[in-house]
Structure 1
């Protein structure tokens, strides 16, 4: 194993650990962890056996393993972009709900204060 392969494997393992530890706790947490571990295992295997990636690419009719890796990276980047956009939309919805609740609460407080000053 070359030094560069060792550095790449260490980087992949570190990224997988960070993904597992820092993921928010929702219902799909276990699935995300499994995919992170599968990705890490596939990355380590691709680093250790680059010719296998070329063989897999040939099976799919792609000339080189690097091209297969590029196509997979593009798909992964698009999936990541979709998940980020969905998360932002959910966050925006939550902020909108909170803003509405605060506005209604402030209106009720003002109404109560006005009623209190009218009775005096």
Structure 2
């Protein structure tokens, strides 16, 4: 199980996010690694923590914690997806407006960026 934690840690540290977001992510990752290793090496600590919080067993506390983390991940993924959808919509509108201006300016649709060998996203 400890090897699995090491693999997950290595995968999560490869991020391309901004500096502040990446710093927060790494701090949370360190916390995860410490807590996961402690739960594996000292299972009684997890049971004692669960009993302190009013939960019967350490495994139940772990399940509740993972549920909360999963819901947070789903919410963050949803926000990220919505942001990417909005960016895609903005880019599509910009491209459509640019092509419409080109057609009005006397250039035909066949003379567009794609016909000239471009991707359609580069500026004229």
Which of the pair is proportionally richer in helix?
1
Unaligned runs of 5+ in 1: 1-7, 115-120
Pairwise CA distance, 1:24: 2.4
Partners of 1:25 and 1:59 in 2: CA distance = 37
Question: What is the root-mean-square deviation in Å for CA atoms of aligned residues?
Answer: 1.4
1:24 maps to which residue?
Answer: 16
Unaligned runs of 5+ in 2: 108-124
Q: Note the alpha carbon deviations across 1:6-48, whole angstroms, 9 max, x for none.
A: xx01111110111011x22224111011101110111011000
SS for the counterpart of 1:62 is: coil
1:11 maps to which residue?
Answer: 4
Q: How many residues were matched structurally?
A: 107
1:40 aligns with 2:33: yes
Give the alignment partner of residue 53 of structure 2, picking from 41, 49, 60: 60
Q: TM-score, normalised by structure 1?
A: 0.85
The structure whose RCO (Cα within 8 Å, separation 6+) is larger is 1
Partners of 1:91 and 1:70 in 2: CA distance = 31
